[in-house]
Structure 1
Amino acid sequence: MENAQLEVAGNAALIVVDVQKGFEEEFWGRRNNPDAEGNIAALIDAWQASGRPVVFVRHDSPADSRSPLRVGHAGNAFKDVVEERRGKGSGPELLVTKSVNSAFYGEPDLDAWLKGAGVRQIVIAGIQTNMCNETTARMGGNLGYEVLFPLDAMHTFDLAGPFGWTASAEELSRATAVSLHGGRFAKVVTTAEVLLGAGAV
């Protein structure tokens, strides 16, 4: 890639979206990017080592729903790759719970927390690429944040849509990347670029 080195702010916030055990259930179908969890772990480790803020987001589906992410179900819990890292950093950490796609519509108020800390740049990783990650990125861009979107630190699933159309997880990821980057909602990058820009490699 011929672009100049990515600049990651000293107080850039890493937002780790919905890395929950429920996404391991067959309910969702076939996923892409088996390297997602490893890249998410690398980002969390780098952020915690540098003292940058980390936000862990958990999706709490209603307890009476069939969602594997529902409250009270084992799938609501964070995957081990995230849970074993929570609370281990030297910087600020926040837990946001939500029941919709955007992490900015959760509790506590993510936008208020970020702005209170003077954060202007956010890095989004987690699950799913074209769902909660994309929605959070679009809203972050609308709210005035510089959004970095490391596409290899997330994954999604094959999906059926209208008119008998289907799209593979890879196709959906590419569509999200093109929409966000081309539409200037976010800068779509790689985990390696983010780590380099953050001074972690």
Structure 2
Amino acid sequence: MAAEPGSVRPGGRTARVRSAVLAAAGDALAEHGMAGLDLADVARRADVGRTTVYRRWGSVPALVADLLADMAEQSLPRVETGSLLEDLLANARLVRRTLVDPRQGALFKAMIAAAACDDRTAEALHRFYAARIAEWAPCVDQAVERGEVPPGTDSHEVVRAVSAPLYYRFLASGGPLDEAVARRCARAAVEAARAGVFVSD
């Protein structure tokens, strides 16, 4: 039985098709939101056959799920500086840059909005953020080993505490997302961690 398009030969034609389609889907989402995402339009933008897109992905939620998986794979790795504050500041800066980027910010807004009313998109978004948090959690584990924060500190909760205020400003309050805010988020998370706020019961 033939393999699914996009599932074999890394670096081959299927990989190139997947890359082109996901880039086109991201552009369409950033421009028009989830309501304007159409598989035929994505195929046109990617310059691939419609049958290829429909056969490989089949639905808009499936395409968005694959786009999120690809974004998780392509995300920058964590920074390790030997200091929890500097590590978490690097994380805060990365999140801030993503959210203020015109294309990336619009893309995330569209996906978050879609996740509120589509279970498959929500699951894909949860997997994306779980992967990113898991990537940065070792920074906190290393800080525990160095004695910077107490044993039993929940590393995932510390990382979430860095990005949560940034997303609140991005989605709800409309407050500025500048370097000062990124620094404040990182410092607040570190101080709370040092105080034992994130120690598991």
**TM-score (norm: length of structure 1):** 0.26
Greater fraction helix: 2
Greater fraction strand: 1
**TM-score (norm: length of structure 2):** 0.26
Structure with the bigger RCO (C-alpha within 8 Å, sep 6+) is 1
